[in-house]
């Protein structure tokens, strides 16, 4: 069984990790400090930030932080109050395995930080903690939205934190390539800043994902690098997590002895830490170890413990309660804003009644008549626009499900069968079925991720290459500043132009053809281009030109609808080259998160 990635969040970002030798002197300063002022509060907060994760099993942290909170309240010190709430959230969330209580403290902390622009850098950490609760409860969309927001937050100076958490989300969703990509980006940032603790933590999870992706040697090397760093720098807060992940990696490498060693020691070390999430993961791995050894009795016992603990950590009641707290928090905020707005409106209303109730009445009657006329015109235009949208969507689907293309594809499959080339027939049929399924699934969607659209286009071009006996090659280029997992595009917007390039441009050439599809950003627009080295428009027969015009008209209509809905200036350009044609489609840049 594949366990979830283990997440350890390291205190708020306003303080750096420090060596143990500095803590004794800091503790002495606090002990000898005689005045309970804001400096005293800051010293206590600094001590907590540097020491708490070194001794997470110390049960006195709750009372220590509560005392700091009470002093901050007496001093009316917002920063001290908010950071203390965040620390109480961390203690409940991570040390006491109570995310519901942790979420309540996080929300109190964020309430204070949100009101003051100067506190925005502190709010980054609180938002991260809330996102981690969503990830632990497998609310992946909420978690990914939070972390991608943090990635673009100007106050988040350590971008690799957000990249690390995004890697965790994709890892839990089994999107291993995306997970590895973000982990490596996070690792590069941590290594640039020479942040040993983060380097070790990132490698702990990266090694596990690499092993899950089948990169067994790389995963083993990475997890061992993490273990070496933990041993060398005595990073006890990471040891339990690293041991749990190491057990899974060694198990995948069929080293049962080491897998059992790390899984067993992870559980032993966790007795002091009392992290239920870590215990759950370690039990899952140990059950797999016993099963691999043929010790099915212990495997069953351990697996039952894992299932019982997992169900207690992730269940519908807890998710519902977390959602309820989030909704209630937002409702309380909205209510407070509404009450202020209501009072303001009452003042304006009273002044208006006293000053000119007659004028208001006359204006109201005129406004009602005008609105009725405008609504009638608006409804008429809306009906026309909706009809145009429906007609365009139907035509776009018909162009993607071209009867000639379907007929020719089925004929090609039939030819392979007659030639007894069952492997080619099976490959062709598999790609054809995948294209039809994806096209129908996406036909109801206005927008899909660019990464999903690329899968559609690649499948379509692979089919056409096979049908035309590899008469052309194709390449897809994506600007390095673009993230295909974060950009939305209309489904198959380039398909009519690719079809034109293949059938009317390249199929009639004697030599090998080539199509280049590229995506780049310019002035908040996404520029999508299809570039071929075919015979060009000037040499195309009139019948073929009419078919190409139909595809162009449908796509223009789709872009006009997008421009009207989003108030943008998307466009299509046709560029005739010496050899071939280039089509450029401009679309408004739309991000998913």
pLDDT in tens, 255-281: 988 888 888 888 787 666 566 666 777
State which residues form the domain around 65: 1-157
pLDDT category at 147 given cuts 50, 70, 90 is: confident
pLDDT at 394 over 70: no
Q: Per-residue DSSP letters for 133-175?
A: HHHHTT-HHHHHHHHHHHHT-TT---HHHHHHHHHHHHHHTT-
- Residue 301 counted as domain residue: no
Among 132, 157, 182, the domain boundary falls at 157
3-state secondary structure of 576: strand
- Residue 546 counted as domain residue: yes
Among 157, 181, 216, the domain boundary falls at 157
The span from the CA of 281 to the CA of 301, in Å, is: 15
Residue 304 near residue 271, CB atoms below 8 Å: no
pLDDT at 138 over 80: no
- Residue 269 counted as domain residue: no
More confident residue, 212 or 593: 212
- Residue 120 counted as domain residue: yes
- DSSP classification of residue 6: P
Residue 465 near residue 514, CB atoms below 8 Å: no
Least confident of 10-14, 71-75, 204-208: 10-14
Question: What pLDDT is attached to residue 454?
Answer: 92
pLDDT at 347 over 70: no
Residue 89 near residue 129, CB atoms below 8 Å: yes
- Please state the domain count of the chain: 2
- Residue 38 counted as domain residue: yes
Distance between start and end Cα atoms, the chain: 31
The span from the CA of 236 to the CA of 276, in Å, is: 17
3-state secondary structure of 370: helix
Among 208, 199, 215, CA closest to 168? 208
3-state secondary structure of 487: strand
Which string of b and e fits 282-292 if b means at least 16 CB within 10 Å? bbbbbbbbbbe
C-beta pairs of 405-411 under 8 Å, 24+ apart in sequence: 405/499, 408/467, 409/463, 409/467
C-beta pairs of 74-77 under 8 Å, 24+ apart in sequence: 74/36, 75/36, 75/37, 75/38, 75/41, 77/38, 77/41
Query: Mean per-residue pLDDT for 315-333?
Result: 47
- Residue 294 counted as domain residue: no
Share of the chain above pLDDT 90, in %: 20
Query: Residue with structure tokens 């040891």?
Result: 239
The span from the CA of 515 to the CA of 551, in Å, is: 18
Q: For residue 343, give both structure tokens.
A: 């009072």
- DSSP classification of residue 469: T
- Residue 345 counted as domain residue: no
Question: What pLDDT is attached to residue 399?
Answer: 47
Q: Name the CA dihedral angle for 456, 458, 460, 465, rounded to a multiple of 10 degrees.
A: 180
Least confident of 71-75, 314-318, 485-489: 314-318
Residue 52 near residue 87, CB atoms below 8 Å: yes
More confident residue, 525 or 413: 525
Question: What pLDDT is attached to residue 377?
Answer: 56
Instruction: Return the bridge partners of 448, or none.
Output: 489
Q: Per-residue DSSP letters for 19-52?
A: -HHHHHHHHHHHHH----SHHHHHHHHHHHHHHG
The span from the CA of 583 to the CA of 574, in Å, is: 5
pLDDT category at 313 given cuts 50, 70, 90 is: low
Mean pLDDT of the chain: 78
Query: Mean per-residue pLDDT for 411-429?
Result: 79
More confident residue, 132 or 312: 132
Q: What is the CATH number of the domain that holds 466?
A: 3.30.565.10
Question: What pLDDT is attached to residue 324?
Answer: 47
pTM, 2 dp: 0.44
pLDDT category at 549 given cuts 50, 70, 90 is: low
The span from the CA of 265 to the CA of 535, in Å, is: 69
Among 102, 137, 157, the domain boundary falls at 157
The span from the CA of 457 to the CA of 431, in Å, is: 11
Q: What is the CATH number of the domain that holds 70?
A: 1.25.40.10
Question: What pLDDT is attached to residue 356?
Answer: 62
Among 255, 211, 249, CA closest to 227? 249
- Residue 572 counted as domain residue: yes
Question: What pLDDT is attached to residue 315?
Answer: 53
Burial class (CB in 10 A: 0-12, 13-18, 19+), 568: middle
Q: Name the CA dihedral angle for 13, 17, 18, 20, rounded to a multiple of 10 degrees.
A: 130
């Amino acid at each position: 069984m594949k366990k979830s990635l283990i997440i350890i969040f390291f205190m708020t970002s306003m303080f750096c990790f420090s060596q143990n030798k500095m803590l004794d002197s800091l503790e002495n300063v606090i002990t000898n400090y005689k005045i309970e002022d804001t400096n005293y509060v800051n010293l206590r907060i600094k001590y907590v930030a540097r020491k708490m994760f070194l001794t997470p099993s110390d049960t006195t942290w709750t009372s220590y932080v509560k005392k700091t909170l009470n002093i901050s309240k007496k001093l009316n010190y917002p920063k001290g109050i908010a950071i203390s709430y965040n620390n109480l959230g961390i203690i409940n969330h991570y040390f006491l395995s109570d995310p519901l209580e942790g979420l309540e403290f996080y929300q109190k902390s964020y309430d204070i930080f949100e009101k003051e622009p100067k506190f925005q850098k502190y709010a980054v950490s609180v938002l991260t903690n809330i996102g981690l609760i969503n990830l632990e409860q497998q609310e992946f969309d909420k978690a990914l939205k939070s972390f991608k927001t943090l990635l673009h937050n100007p106050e988040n100076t350590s971008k690799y934190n957000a990249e690390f958490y995004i890697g965790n989300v994709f890892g839990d969703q089994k999107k291993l390539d995306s997970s590895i990509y973000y982990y490596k980006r996070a690792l590069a940032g941590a290594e640039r800043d020479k942040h040993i603790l983060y380097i070790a933590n990132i490698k702990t999870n990266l090694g596990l994902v690499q092993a899950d992706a089948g990169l067994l040697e790389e995963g083993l090397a990475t997890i061992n690098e993490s273990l070496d760093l933990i041993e060398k720098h005595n990073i006890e807060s990471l040891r339990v997590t690293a041991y749990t992940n190491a057990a899974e990696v060694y198990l995948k490498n069929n080293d049962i002895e080491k897998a059992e060693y790390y899984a067993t020691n992870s559980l032993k070390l966790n007795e002091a830490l009392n992290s239920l999430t870590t215990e759950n993961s370690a039990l899952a791995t140990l059950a797999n170890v016993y099963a691999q050894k043929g010790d099915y009795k212990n495997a069953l016992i351990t697996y039952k413990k894992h299932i019982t603990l997992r169900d207690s950590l992730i269940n519908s009641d807890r998710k519902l309660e977390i959602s309820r707290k989030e909704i209630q928090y937002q409702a309380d905020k909205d209510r407070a804003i509404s009450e202020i707005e209501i009072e303001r409106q009452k003042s304006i209303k009273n002044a208006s009644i006293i000053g000119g109730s007659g004028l208001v009445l006359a204006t109201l009657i005129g406004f009602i008549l005008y609105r009725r006329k405008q609504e009638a015109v608006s409804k008429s235009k809306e009906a026309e626009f909706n009809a145009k949208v429906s007609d365009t969507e139907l035509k776009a689907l018909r162009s993607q499900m071209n009867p000639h293309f379907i007929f020719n594809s089925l004929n090609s499959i039939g030819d392979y069968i007659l030639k007894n080339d069952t492997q080619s027939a099976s490959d062709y049929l598999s790609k054809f079925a995948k294209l039809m399924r994806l096209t129908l699934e996406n036909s109801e969607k206005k927008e899909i991720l660019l990464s999903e659209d690329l899968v559609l286009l690649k499948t379509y071009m692979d089919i056409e290459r096979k049908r035309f006996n590899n008469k052309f090659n194709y390449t897809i280029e994506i600007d390095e500043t673009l993230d295909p997992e974060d950009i939305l595009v209309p489904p198959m917007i380039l398909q009519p132009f690719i079809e034109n390039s293949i059938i009317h441009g390249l199929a009639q050439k004697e030599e090998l053809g080539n199509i280049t599809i590229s995506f780049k950003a310019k002035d908040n627009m996404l520029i999508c281009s299809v570039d071929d080295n075919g015979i060009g428009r000037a040499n195309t027969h009139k019948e073929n030109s009419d078919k190409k015009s139909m595809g162009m008209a449908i796509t223009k209509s789709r872009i006009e609808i997008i421009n009207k809905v989003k108030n943008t200036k998307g466009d299509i350009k046709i560029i005739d080259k010496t050899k071939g044609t280039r089509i450029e489609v401009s679309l408004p840049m739309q991000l998913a998160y």
